[in-house]
Structure 1
Amino acid sequence: MKAYVAGVGMTKFEKPETRSWQYWDMVREAGEAALADAGIGYADVEQVPVGYCFQPSTAGQRAAYELGLTGIPVYNVNNNCATGSTALMLARQLVEGDAADCVLALGFEKMKKGALGGGADGVARGGAADDGSSASPVARHYEIMAARHGFEMSPPTAQIFGDAAREHMEKYGTTEAQLAAVAAKNHRHSAHNPNAQFRDVYDVAGILASRTVHRPLTKLQCSPTSDGAAAVVVVSQRFAARRGLTGLVEIAGQAMTTDTEESFASGSCIDVVGQPMSREAARQAYDRAGLGIEDVDVIELHDCFSVNELLTYEALGMCAMGESGKLVESGATSYGGRWVVNPSGGLISKGHPLGATGLAQTAELVWQLRGTAGERQVPGARVGLAHNIGLGGAAVVTVLRAV
């Protein structure tokens, strides 16, 4: 049974502590928007997967109860930065598996100011709890990094991706200007997105001039901590027909992969941060959709740091290994090029509330495939691809097709 996106919604992504809202307030806003977009009520929803990283167990119920108290199953989902797309995947599986006709996937995050990964529970991503009582679940990843590059005082996520960038530069001749071109493109795109956390435009020189976080990555090449929520309504074909729903977008193919031996065997940060996972998830998603990268028009991908956008170009098959710097520099991934990548502004500029990110990517693609993205609209977009990745690890690639 096929699964379709019938409705999407999201809040504006905000700098932490900008608004005096609770996480359930943001979920209510995004969830109500998605239900209204689909033209249904919460009473029609049969199951609810809820993604988040920085709240305690059953926070998903507390959030979903703002939409209704109907007694339906609520699942709490945590898969690091791939949490939102994992919630979407569960929703799709429930519908395709004929376990439900209408599922609402929710994702949210309420974060703290500071380096990416600082959350409400006070546990630093990539480190141990404050009392040293528990090792990080990504310790193995950071051990690979430290063995090759050492361990510095900059934020761990910036280090591991920054070290991946240095490896790419050393191996393929990628330049700092090419890395900065990713961020300049995404900041330029976000100027037209009212939901984006940042809407300022910078050129490559401005990106390079911002504060260095971990060489070669500057502040404007790093995604920020963010508050926000997003929601997606997933339905079966029969439910859509029975209710006369319009504006549907088909989930044509989707796959999740996790780390394999390849992630760790080379000792390379390029592999540790997930390029092999992304490549395999893309292959499986293309196979299931019966489509390839040549069929895709618009892409929302996980640019947590500028280098990850370049690594993902290669993983998705947009260019040969080592050619991604030249690809972005050529203009092929912006308006007027072969693809438009991150028309929303991506994580770097739109923001990155971990549990909401994958669902916000889906919302942007649905608007694009419906032709309702306003000034961000990619002309003639019919096929979209979302890529969402989390260290630890999980990579989710979703191919969406206009009906």
Structure 2
Amino acid sequence: MSGRVVVAGVGMIPFSKPGASPPYHEMGAEAGKRALADSGLAYDAIEQAYAGYVYGDSTSGQRALYRLGLTGVPIVNVNNNCSTGSTALFLARQAIASGAADCVLALGFEQMKPGALGSVYTDRPSAFEDFDALADELVSARDIPLALRYFGGAGLAHMRKYGTRLDAFAKIRAKASRHAKHNPFAIFRKEVTVADVMNDTPIWPGVMTRLMACPPTCGGAAAVLVSESFARTRGLDAGVAIKAQAMTTDTPSTFEARDMMRLVGYDMAKAAALKVYEASGVGPEEIGVVELHDCFAHNELISYEALGLCPEGGAEAFIDAGDNTFGGRVVTNPSGGLLSKGHPLGATGLAQCYELTRQLRGTAGPTQVEGVRHALQHNLGLGGACVVTMYERT
């Protein structure tokens, strides 16, 4: 990067169940307004905007952002599956780092329907055909919805390879609920126990219960990124910056390894994390807090290993030692994560940015992790893309 990219402002709205939220453009506009207010800037300071969403018509980004103003700036609509929000952030950061702009807005929003995710366009080949074909070979669960089959299959692969017990995933879900009860923006704030999770409705007997899966969610989140010189000129708070960032997509190992963990992005996450650690000069042992992509408890567990937070095969011991929560080595998903906070696809990556920015500012309130200097974000989309971001406090 050609200079520090400062996170000048962040904003999000409370996440809600499908059918209980305002329409997408109102959610997006409100998140954008909150980020601008947090930065102390007006919309006419924005030179470019990147708007992320998965389910929506073309130029939905304009529909949301036009409520903030008609300034004629470039608006780019972004769709990268569940990594959409962090992809918008990646593009905004790139615009600042390249010198193309000094002040950029990254926005994410999603208005979702109830139930498991499914294909919208059934009159053409699916982007997941190659993934589906391999998943059908590796796991016998064709009656289980697509995303559950992928991530449940990845968890099952870990169980078979390392002897991981089902209650390890339940402990992750219970931990998420303990964190989310302090987050007013989370969709699920009720604390659940490991027993509650284990005794919940089985989705895939022996592999997953309902509470181990994140819910469909509606919401919006946004971030204002600026150059360090712009922050200095405008007198903005420049205490939080993106120190390094990487986006990866699938490589041959996704398919050739014939491993469900690889099929859901383990290698993408590992490669992105390694690039970020090298570029930042900060290793996983120096990170105090992580917001990672726990769309299923199973993916949180394998992501511990992909991100280098613990050795391969060491995730269950990491969980049992309490190293993934307050008082442990690295607090994962203090917000409650996707499992409890919710997962509005286009907004998720920017909601992670919101939480980590507040952590580094020391303004996270009851979810605050003390003494944080470096924070890591991991946002994954099947099909595929993974974005890993390192934030620093100066």
TM-score normalized by the length of structure 1: 0.95
The match for 1:205 is 195
CA–CA separation in structure 2 for the residues paired with 1:68 and 1:273: 39
2:182 aligned to 192, 196, 217, which one? 192
Contact 1:247 / 1:370 at 8 angstroms: preserved in 2? no
Task: Render the CA deviation track for 1:169-215: whole Å, top value 9, x for unaligned.
Answer: 11101001111111110111000000000001011110111111224
Letter in 2 for 1:74: I
Q: Partner of 1:120 in structure 2?
A: none
2:290 matched to 1:299?
yes
For 1:257 and 1:239, the matched residues in 2 are separated by 29
Matches within 5 A, 1:1-150: 1-19=3-21, 21-115=22-116, 117=117, 124-125=118-119, 129=121, 132-150=122-140
Aligned to 2:309: 318
**Cα distance, 1:247 vs structure 2:** 5.3
Aligned to 1:273: 264
Q: Please list the CA deviations of residues 200-255 of structure 1 after superposition, one character each: whole Å capped at 9, or x if unmatched.
A: 10111101111112241111110110000000000001100000001531100100
Q: How far apart are the structure 2 equivalents of 1:163 and 1:179?
A: 13
CA RMSD of aligned residues (A): 1.0
Instruction: Answer yes or no: is the 8 Å Cα contact 2:110–2:347 preserved in 1.
Output: yes
Displacement of 1:151 in angstroms is 4.0
Measured in 1, the distance between the counterparts of 2:72 and 2:239 equals 27
How far off is 1:381 after superposition?
A: 1.0
The CA distance in 2 between the partners of 1:27 and 1:322, in whole Å, is 40
Q: Deviations over 1:347-376 (max 9, x none)?
A: 000000000000000000000000001111
**Structure 2: stretches of 5+ with no match in the other structure:** none
Q: 1:311-364 CA deviation, whole Å, 9 max, x = no partner?
A: 110011111111111211210010000010000000000000000000000000
**AA of the residue aligned to 1:5:** V
Matched AA of 1:48? A
In 2, the alpha carbon distance for the partners of 1:326 and 1:158 equals: 25
Q: In the alignment, is the contact (CA less than 8 A) between 1:174 and 1:325 conserved in 2?
A: yes
Is this contact kept in 2: 1:104–1:234, CA < 8 A? yes
**Higher deviation after alignment, 365-374 or 134-143:** 134-143
TM alignment of 1:252-291, pairs within 5 A: 252-291=243-282
1:365-380 map, 5 Å: 365-380=356-371
Matched with 2:222 is 231
Does the CA-based 8 Å contact 2:33-2:68 persist in structure 1? Answer: yes
Query: Which aligned segments of 4 or more residues in structure 1 are displaced greater than 6 angstroms?
Result: none
Match of 2:161 in 1: 171
Give the secondary structure class of the aligned counterpart of 1:6: strand
1:94 match: secondary structure: helix
The answer to whether residue 157 in structure 2 is matched with residue 155 in structure 1 is no
The answer to whether the 8 Å contact 1:16/1:110 transfers is yes
Percentage of pairs with the same residue: 49
Tell me the amino acid that sits aligned with residue 165 of structure 1: G
Is the CA contact (8 Å cut-off) linking 2:6 and 2:238 kept in structure 1? Answer: no
* Letter of the 2:95 counterpart: L
| TM-score where L is the length of structure 2 | 0.98
- Structure 1 position 250 matched with structure 2 position 241: yes
Instruction: Give distance in 2, aligned partners of 1:135 and 1:219.
Output: 30
Unaligned runs of 5+ in 1: 118-123
CA displacement 1:53-103 (0-9 Å, x = unmatched) = 000111111111111100000000000000000000000000000000000
SS of the aligned residue for 1:338 comes to coil
Asked if the contact 1:178/1:326 (under 8 Å) is kept, the reply is no
Helix, strand or coil at the partner of 1:103: strand
Task: Tell me the SS of whatever aligns to 2:149.
Answer: helix
- How far does residue 304 in structure 1 lie from its aligned partner after superposition? 0.4
Counterpart residue identity of residue 212, structure 2: Q
The residue identity in structure 2 corresponding to 1:73 is P
